[in-house]
Structures are given as structure tokens and as C-alpha cells.
Amino acid sequence: MSSTAFPEPVTLIVGMITSRISLFDRAEEELKQLYGPTGLKSDIFDFNFTDYYEEEMGPNLKRKFLSFKNKINPDQLSKIKLQTNELERIFAEKEPFVPRPINLDPGYISPSKLVLATTKDYAHRIYLRDGIYAEVTLIYRNKRFEPLDTTFPDYRTKKYIKFFTRIRNRIMAISRK
């Protein structure tokens, strides 16, 4: 009979999408209040992989990622997704220029994978709790992050993978100390 084991803490990340770059800094301040100091921050990328968000968020969308220094337990992901959904609602009340001024997508990076939280069910997603699902978006094998068949097009790009690899390298360097 096997025995249960608790998972190692993981690195929280949040992907942000908006048409107003100034909201990145404001959202970061709110997120720091909830999750502590940030670690690595990505450059600002054009988000032109889909027009899915354009109607509710506007045109010329930009994407930025944050990582956080304080580790989380993987089972906190559903709670964090609910919190970021609430932050989105608050931003929508304060910034009524579009119905959804910012999209906040939490996830985590461990040595073996990148996992994202979502409210949408699909065949490759696992239900966590409270209407929140998780999906493995990238796996680490052959000394690099690799996409899966279900990985979103933007998460397949070299610039995203390079940023996530920097986070993983930091995780691995800290674990060797």
C-alpha cells in the first residue's frame, strides 16, 4: 500500500492582460497585498494570439507576468483564482472604460510543470473546488518546458517559455542551497 505525501511548495505566477498598461502596476500593488513581494517580472508582450477578449477588454491588448517570492501550496490555487476574479470585479467597478479592464490568470510553476487555474471545464482540466479547474499547460522534460496539445498558442512562444524557464531556474537554484 502506498502512503500519501504532501506536495512541495510551488511558485505562484499571475498573468495579466489589459489594454491599459498603467493597470499592470496597479494590479501588481493589489496582488502584492495578497501574496507578498514579487519575484521575477516579464516584459510587456503584445497579446495578439486571439480576438477572444477584445469585445470585453478592448483592442491592442498587452500581457505581463509576475512571479511571487512567497511559495504557496498547490492546493491554494482555487482560492487564489477566486481572489483574482474578485480583483477583476473591483477593477471593473473602478475602471468602467470597458466591461473587463484587466484579466488576472493565476497559476504556478514547479520543477516539473506550469499549471494554470480556470473557471472553464474541458476534457484536459481537473476540477479543484468552488468552480475552479486546473490544467497543466507546460511540462518540463528534455531540459526545457514543452507545450501539450492543449496549450494556448501564446504559452507556446519562445518569449513566454524563456520567462517561465527563468522562474524554474531560480526555483532550482534555491532548492540546491
Taking each helix axis from N to C terminus, what angle separates 22-35 and 77-94, rounded to the nearest 10 degrees?
140
Q: What is the pLDDT of residues 143-171, one digit of tens each?
A: 999 999 999 999 999 999 999 999 999 99
Tell me whether residue 2 is in a domain. Answer: no
**Would 50 be classed as within a structural domain?**
yes
In a domain, 84, yes or no: yes
Would residue 5 count as lying in a domain? Answer: no
Is 0.75 topped by the overall pTM? yes
- Among the ranges 3-12, 50-59, 105-114, which has the highest mean pLDDT value? 105-114
**177 pLDDT band (50/70/90 cuts)?**
low
pLDDT band of residue 97 (cuts 50, 70, 90) is confident
Q: Give the pLDDT band (50/70/90) at residue 96.
A: confident
Classify residue 102: in a domain, yes or no: yes
Could you tell me the residue range of the domain that residue 78 belongs to?
10-176
3 domain residue, yes or no = no
Q: For a pLDDT cut of 90, what percent of the chain falls above it?
A: 90
Q: How many CB atoms lie within 10 A of CB 28?
A: 16
Per-residue pLDDT for 176 more than 80? no
Which amino acid is located at 176 in the chain? R
Domain assignment present for residue 4? The answer is no
**Once rounded to an integer, what is the mean pLDDT over residues 107-124?**
96
Q: Specify the number of domains making up the chain.
A: 1
| pLDDT value of residue 95 | 87
Is 130 among the domain residues?
A: yes
C-alpha Rg value of the chain to the nearest Å: 16
Pairing outcome for strands 144-147 and 113-118? unpaired
| pLDDT tens string 137-149 | 999 999 999 999 9
Three-state DSSP class for residue 171: helix
